Structure 1
Amino acid sequence: MMLSKLSIAKIWLALLGLAFLVSCSDSPEKISFSGKTMGTTYSVTVYSKDPRHNKEEIQKKVDIVLKRVNAQMSTYDPESELSQFNQFKSTQPMVISRDLERVVNRGLEIAEETEGALDITVGPLVNLWGFGPQARPEKEPSEEELNAVREKTGYQKLRVENHQLIKDNPELYVDLSTIAKGYGVDRVAHLLDQLRIKQYLVEIGGEVIAKGGKPDEALWRLAIEKPVSTERAVQRVVQFKDGALATSGDYRNYYEEDGKRYSHIIDPVTGAPVQHNLVSTSVYAEDTMSADAYATALFVMGTEKAKSFAKKHNMAVMLIYKTDDGFEEYMSEAFKPLLAEQ
């Protein structure tokens, strides 16, 4: 049977329409959402072609993961697993979850590696200086008060054995705020991996992990903020396909009393807020938990020690420090390839 020209034209139009629909379905859908967790905010962006990946279902699963991490590691929730350990005034072992075990072990590893620059037991000192759940002190703690609290700190007094957490001093208090946010980011990333999402960006309180780049092979672009409290401005832009980035600084979380500035980051050696010219540290790593912890440890070290540590361990690090003329940058060789044009 012969087809008329009109019939042939209709077939071609149908085929063209089908091709258009197929090409459209090949473009991944962008899904973005945000929420609150761990006393801050989170945001997630994913690209997916799978029609089963819808915003509501993904966010519901993300919220469950983050609630679990918070219920395990918060010091603000008196019912959390970590709070229960801190309230356990005994040197007897306490069985803990695998998640809490993993984070504590990583914190102790980095504490050893950085010679105590990171110390997950400085919580009582954080509280003493007014940066924890307790109220800000009316005056600077005395030397006697500092020494009394320092007796209750020290990562060497904490250990994990047979999935149990043990403290040598019953008054020891563990605070995972320097590492738990990063771990929360990693747990969300793990969830997205399980959902077979191959392109995503996850952020909690400024700590970020990225995977797979963006569509059309574009890299994820992230801004490192200028270390000033008077405005939101960009210091540098970095870009990468996969990896984690964390930044630590004291330009937002501090207070002033009688003309003196008090940082929320405590030096475990002195027991007091850090006093040096380093104002921001950014660390790129494979996982956010490590990037988060190292960023804090390097900040505690100060500029010169942080430079030496980064060189020794071939870390991708950017430091911003004060000078008489303003701010200066230091970038390790491993960090420089991450820089993007602004």
Structure 2
Amino acid sequence: MRRRARPLLGTLVEIGVKSDLPDDAFNALVNQAFARVDHIHHCMSFHDPNSELSQINRLSPGQTMMLSEHTAQVLNSALQIAQWSGGLFNPGVAPRLVAWGYSPPPEPRMPACRAVEQLFQIHDRVLTKTASGWVDLGGIAKGYAVDQALAFLRDTASEHPVDGAVVNAGGDLAVFGLPEFPVLIRDPAQPNQALGTLYLSDQALATSACYYSMRLTEGQTRSALVNPWTLEAVTTARSASVRAPTCMLADALTKVVITSGHINHPWMETLGAKACLLPEPADMIARGLS
């Protein structure tokens, strides 16, 4: 399998393709997959003042905006997952991340954190801002970008000899056509070491943890994960991994699991998702996510 990598989505995105394509055709194919990731990044980046998401965050209550298909899909999915999780997944906590210095302010005035369903309504891709507030889609858009790049590679398999592919965005990844694809699971106590190996087949896996974002700010320990119920930083020493049919779903559900500290939410099975809180012995990782 040949691999290419680029810095995107605030991390390193790697695309691997199993194919007998000539180099020129292979590079053209992978470049198109990267272009889809880049497009989604520019649509939904909280840090880019020209992104579609930044425009949404600058809207005043009552103002409307036509959304791209990608942004509408991710926002609608965010609303659904927020409802399923009872608000444990809530992109409306973005003001906390700005206050703690993890993200730039979209505008000078700092709004309150709100439940995401209070901030907007969407009808036929037309968004109406219903309350002042900011949304950060960093907890779901990366997974969506992985799905879109993989879907492109899978869809082209009918035209090109693509036997399988993997798209990996900093540990959030999805696979097709590669049976028993090995994925190393980090040890949250020693993130540079692997705790175990999981094998994926036509599935996605995502992990959330605090070990790289945790820092002391104004005498308090913060991280880039916010508990929407308490509006306090999540500072657990554990990590949460979720296996799901799509990387967007796995990405979002890791926030629910690591915030709640529970893996057996009643709707997880309905969504086809399995979760594991680490550290656990290697055999427990396999059993928890199988």
TM-score by length of 1: 0.75
Q: Which one-letter code corresponds to 2:54 in the other structure?
A: S
Deviation at 1:194, TM superposition (A): 2.4
Aligned to 1:307: 264
CA distance in structure 1 between the aligned counterparts of 2:253 and 2:60, rounded to whole angstroms: 30
Higher relative contact order (CA 8 A, sep 6+): 2
Q: Secondary structure at the match of 1:232?
A: strand
2:201 to 219, 241, 253: 241
- Aligned pair 1:317/2:275, yes or no? yes
Q: Secondary structure at the match of 1:209?
A: strand
Whether the aligned pair in 1 keeps the contact of 2:276 and 2:288 (CA below 8 Å) is: no
Whether the aligned pair in 2 keeps the contact of 1:250 and 1:264 (CA below 8 Å) is: yes
Deviation at 1:238, TM superposition (A): 0.4
Whether the aligned pair in 1 keeps the contact of 2:207 and 2:241 (CA below 8 Å) is: yes
Whether the aligned pair in 2 keeps the contact of 1:108 and 1:120 (CA below 8 Å) is: no
Q: Secondary structure at the match of 1:115?
A: coil
Q: Residue 195 and residue 107 in structure 1: after superposition, are their counterparts in 2 closer, same or farther (change >3 A)? A: same
Aligned to 1:266: 226
Aligned to 1:324: none
CA distance in structure 1 between the aligned counterparts of 2:251 and 2:176, rounded to whole angstroms: 17
Aligned to 2:250: 291
Aligned to 2:130: 168
Whether the aligned pair in 2 keeps the contact of 1:317 and 1:331 (CA below 8 Å) is: no
Q: Which one-letter code corresponds to 1:121 in the other structure?
A: G
Identical aligned pairs, as a percentage?
Answer: 26
Deviation at 1:159, TM superposition (A): 2.2
What are the Cα deviations for residues 188-236 of structure 1, in whole angstroms up to 9, with x where unaligned? 01110222133011101210001111xxxx52000110003x5511112
Q: Secondary structure at the match of 1:36?
A: strand
Aligned to 1:211: 176
Residues matched between the structures, number: 281
Q: Residue 31 and residue 95 in structure 1: after superposition, are their counterparts in 2 closer, same or farther (change >3 A)? A: same
Whether the aligned pair in 2 keeps the contact of 1:185 and 1:288 (CA below 8 Å) is: yes
CA distance in structure 2 between the aligned counterparts of 1:40 and 1:190, rounded to whole angstroms: 20
- Aligned pair 1:94/2:65, yes or no? yes
Q: Which one-letter code corresponds to 2:154 in the other structure?
A: D
Deviation at 1:328, TM superposition (A): 4.5
Whether the aligned pair in 2 keeps the contact of 1:315 and 1:332 (CA below 8 Å) is: no
2:83 to 78, 101, 112: 112
Whether the aligned pair in 2 keeps the contact of 1:125 and 1:149 (CA below 8 Å) is: no
Q: Residue 256 and residue 224 in structure 1: after superposition, are their counterparts in 2 closer, same or farther (change >3 A)? A: same
Aligned to 1:252: 212
Deviation at 1:331, TM superposition (A): 8.8
Q: Cα RMSD over matched residues?
A: 2.6
Q: Structure 2 regions of 5+ residues with no counterpart?
A: none
Q: Which one-letter code corresponds to 1:270 in the other structure?
A: T
Whether the aligned pair in 2 keeps the contact of 1:310 and 1:316 (CA below 8 Å) is: no
Aligned to 2:287: 336
TM-score by length of 2: 0.87
What are the Cα deviations for residues 54-95 of structure 1, in whole angstroms up to 9, with x where unaligned? 332123212321221012101111111111111122322211
CA distance in structure 2 between the aligned counterparts of 1:330 and 1:126, rounded to whole angstroms: 33
Whether the aligned pair in 2 keeps the contact of 1:310 and 1:317 (CA below 8 Å) is: no
What are the Cα deviations for residues 267-319 of structure 1, in whole angstroms up to 9, with x where unaligned? 112112125x462110001110000000111111124xx33447765731111
Aligned to 1:156: 117
Q: Residue 331 and residue 278 in structure 1: after superposition, are their counterparts in 2 closer, same or farther (change >3 A)? A: farther
- Aligned pair 1:281/2:279, yes or no? no
2:30 to 50, 59, 75: 59
Q: Residue 330 and residue 318 in structure 1: after superposition, are their counterparts in 2 closer, same or farther (change >3 A)? A: farther
Deviation at 1:264, TM superposition (A): 1.4
Q: Residue 97 and residue 117 in structure 1: after superposition, are their counterparts in 2 closer, same or farther (change >3 A)? A: same
Q: Which one-letter code corresponds to 1:317 in the other structure?
A: A
Q: Secondary structure at the match of 1:195?
A: helix
Q: Residue 109 and residue 52 in structure 1: after superposition, are their counterparts in 2 closer, same or farther (change >3 A)? A: same
CA distance in structure 1 between the aligned counterparts of 2:269 and 2:155, rounded to whole angstroms: 35
1:126 to 97, 106, 109: 97
CA distance in structure 2 between the aligned counterparts of 1:266 and 1:211, rounded to whole angstroms: 32
Q: Which one-letter code corresponds to 2:166 in the other structure?
A: L
CA distance in structure 1 between the aligned counterparts of 2:289 and 2:99, rounded to whole angstroms: 39
CA distance in structure 1 between the aligned counterparts of 2:88 and 2:256, rounded to whole angstroms: 5
